[in-house]
């Protein structure tokens, strides 16, 4: 991978030089922390399987856990960084292949497991319609206004929309300038959408979440090239916009009035950590076990909510609350590891192979492809054979007469 040095950016283009790019294990660590924040929010803060307000059950833990939904914002921040990093120098086909094979296999199995559990034990969650379950397999159910099999799946639709938007950059070739332009345009459109009174524009502009993706992209550009006033300006503006929307996010995720300032501090801390990553402050952290922990993030996120709440409902009177919650988290991480090893890796590899083969088939039959031109030429009849076929079918052509050569002579 090519990275620019600390020299000047001339003419808006980074003078790239070769240097080694250490694996950012700290991102894996940040991902698993974000996932555990969401898990704690669902298991400790929500009534869920407990059937009552949890303030009396977790008097010390709930005040912190009730802000755990902010793990989603941290995911979006990391996603902007990682997607920008992983698409550099890749084609649109490669981007689509990598995203589909990454997000769908574990998701499909998680839908099946969650549907099975809540169908057998519907005390916490019920299946509304099996047609809705089938629609969930597309990951597009939110766009159709269809119920989510698991509550966390709405965030996957936000991710998909980000992929679609950034695919425009990937299709034209990812560069420093294009990424900066993408960040600027998205920020302006997201700001405009809040006053435009257009559901379609708001759905795609995602004003509540755009600042996190945009900041993640800016932080990666800092990491790949160098921090500049322009990139700090993009990240700083994104932080201010994220802070602006936090009051609504706190209200949406709370059943009663809670302070906004802890959410502001958590988001600020996330931005500071990403800024430190962008500046290379954590490059020396090479703890390989963080890679394994990071691999569990997505499966854990997919499985934990309603399956876990159903388990809480079944065992809430048989085990002490803290033992139940932390034991359940360990069990869910074990299930996430099984989903990763038995489904995500092998099925993802199989899906990549199938999709790659299909893409190669499309390329071979594209009009501009050399193989397609050769095949068309080989399949085309020789001129002499065409003339002979015409003579046998229609008789001799008479070019001076209108309709000559047609069997009815018209």
The whole-number pLDDT of residue 373 equals 53
Report the C-alpha dihedral over residues 90, 94, 96, 101, rounded to 10 degrees.
Answer: -130
What is the H or E stretch that residue 338 is in?
helix 321-339
Q: How far is residue 277's CA from residue 260's CA, in Å, rounded to a whole number?
A: 26
**Structural domain boundaries in the chain:** 2-364
The whole-number pLDDT of residue 403 equals 36
Q: 174-182: long-range contacts (C-beta < 8 A, 24 or more apart)?
A: 174/84, 174/87, 174/88, 174/89, 174/90, 176/9, 176/12, 176/13, 176/14, 176/221, 176/225, 177/12, 177/13, 179/84, 179/217, 179/221, 180/221, 180/230, 180/231, 180/234, 182/217
The whole-number pLDDT of residue 294 equals 94
**DSSP states of 61-94:** THHHHTTTTHHHHHHHHHHHHHHHHHTTT--HHH
The whole-number pLDDT of residue 360 equals 85
β-bridge partners, 13: 10
What is the H or E stretch that residue 323 is in?
helix 321-339
Q: Where are the alpha helices (DSSP H) in 41-175?
A: 62-65, 70-86, 92-120, 130-136, 154-172
The whole-number pLDDT of residue 393 equals 43
Q: How far is residue 72's CA from residue 165's CA, in Å, rounded to a whole number?
A: 19
What contacts 146, CB < 8 A, 6 or more positions away? 132, 135, 136
Q: Would you say 101 and 141 are in contact if contact means Cβ atoms under 8 Å apart?
A: no
Q: How far is residue 263's CA from residue 249's CA, in Å, rounded to a whole number?
A: 9
Q: Would you say 258 and 250 are in contact if contact means Cβ atoms under 8 Å apart?
A: yes
A 10 A CB-CB count for 338 gives 13
Q: Give the number of C-alpha atoms closer than 13 A to the C-alpha of residue 208, restricted to the C-beta side.
A: 14
Q: Is 11 left (phi over 0), alpha (psi -120 to 50) or beta?
A: left
The whole-number pLDDT of residue 23 equals 80
What is the H or E stretch that residue 176 is in?
helix 176-196
Q: How far is residue 8's CA from residue 228's CA, in Å, rounded to a whole number?
A: 9
Q: How far is residue 313's CA from residue 251's CA, in Å, rounded to a whole number?
A: 26
Q: Would you say 223 and 5 are in contact if contact means Cβ atoms under 8 Å apart?
A: no
Which residues of the chain are modeled with pLDDT < 50? 1-20, 376, 379-380, 384-410
Q: How far is residue 247's CA from residue 255's CA, in Å, rounded to a whole number?
A: 14
The whole-number pLDDT of residue 18 equals 35
Distances (CA, A) of 143 to 139, 179, 229, 356: 9, 26, 38, 28
What is the H or E stretch that residue 214 is in?
helix 210-224
Place of tokens 């229609």: 394
The whole-number pLDDT of residue 256 equals 81
CA neighbor of 331 nearest in space, from 312, 352, 356, 353:
312
Structure tokens at 329: 């988290």
Q: Would you say 227 and 278 are in contact if contact means Cβ atoms under 8 Å apart?
A: yes
Q: How far is residue 174's CA from residue 320's CA, in Å, rounded to a whole number?
A: 53
Predicted TM-score (pTM) of this structure: 0.85
Q: How far is residue 181's CA from residue 165's CA, in Å, rounded to a whole number?
A: 13
The whole-number pLDDT of residue 388 equals 46
**DSSP states of 245-256:** HHHHHHHHT-SS
Q: Is the Cα dihedral 201, 100, 303, 211 positive or negative?
A: negative
Cα-only R_g, the chain: 27
- 8: helix, coil or strand? strand
Q: Give the number of C-alpha atoms closer than 13 A to the C-alpha of residue 50, restricted to the C-beta side.
A: 18
The whole-number pLDDT of residue 139 equals 96
Q: How far is residue 401's CA from residue 396's CA, in Å, rounded to a whole number?
A: 12
């Amino acid at each position: 991978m090519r990275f620019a040095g600390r020299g000047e950016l001339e003419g808006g283009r980074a003078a790239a030089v070769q240097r080694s790019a250490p694996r950012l294990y700290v991102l894996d660590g940040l991902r698993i922390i974000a996932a555990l924040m969401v898990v704690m929010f669902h298991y400790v803060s929500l009534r869920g399987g407990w059937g009552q307000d949890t303030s009396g059950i977790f008097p010390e833990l709930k005040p912190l856990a009730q802000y755990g939904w902010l793990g989603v914002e941290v995911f979006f921040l990391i996603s902007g960084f990682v997607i920008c990093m992983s698409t550099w120098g890749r084609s649109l086909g490669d981007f689509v292949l990598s995203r589909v094979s990454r997000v769908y296999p574990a998701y499909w199995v998680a839908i099946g497991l969650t549907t099975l559990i809540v169908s057998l034990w519907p005390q916490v969650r019920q299946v509304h319609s099996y047609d809705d379950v089938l629609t969930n397999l597309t990951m597009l159910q939110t766009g159709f206004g269809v119920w989510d099999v698991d509550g966390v799946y709405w965030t996957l639709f936000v991710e998909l929309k980000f992929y679609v938007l950034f695919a425009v950059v990937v299709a034209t070739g990812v560069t420093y300038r294009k990424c900066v332009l993408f960040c600027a345009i998205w920020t302006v459109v997201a700001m405009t959408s809040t006053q435009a009174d257009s559901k379609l524009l708001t759905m795609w502009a995602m004003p509540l979440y755009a600042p996190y993706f945009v900041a993640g992209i800016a932080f990666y550009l800092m990491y790949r090239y160098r921090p500049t006033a322009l990139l700090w300006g993009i990240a700083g503006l994104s932080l201010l916009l994220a802070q602006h929307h936090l009051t609504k996010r706190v209200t949406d995720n709370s059943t009663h009035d809670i302070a906004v300032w802890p959410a502001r501090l958590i988001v600020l801390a996330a931005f500071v950590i990403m800024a430190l990553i962008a500046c290379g402050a954590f490059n020396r952290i090479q703890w390989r076990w963080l890679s394994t922990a990071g691999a569990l993030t997505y499966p854990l996120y997919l499985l934990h909510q309603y399956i876990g709440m159903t388990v809480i409902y079944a065992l809430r009177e048989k085990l002490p609350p803290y033992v139940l919650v932390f034991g359940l988290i360990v069990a869910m991480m074990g299930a996430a590891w099984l989903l990763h090893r038995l489904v995500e890796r092998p099925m993802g590899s199989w899906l990549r192979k199938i999709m790659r083969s299909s893409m190669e088939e499309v390329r071979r039959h594209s009009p501009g492809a050399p193989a397609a031109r050769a095949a068309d030429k080989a399949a085309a009849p020789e001129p002499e054979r065409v003339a002979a076929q015409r003579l046998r079918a229609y008789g001799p052509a008479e070019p001076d007469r209108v309709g000559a050569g047609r069997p009815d002579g018209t």
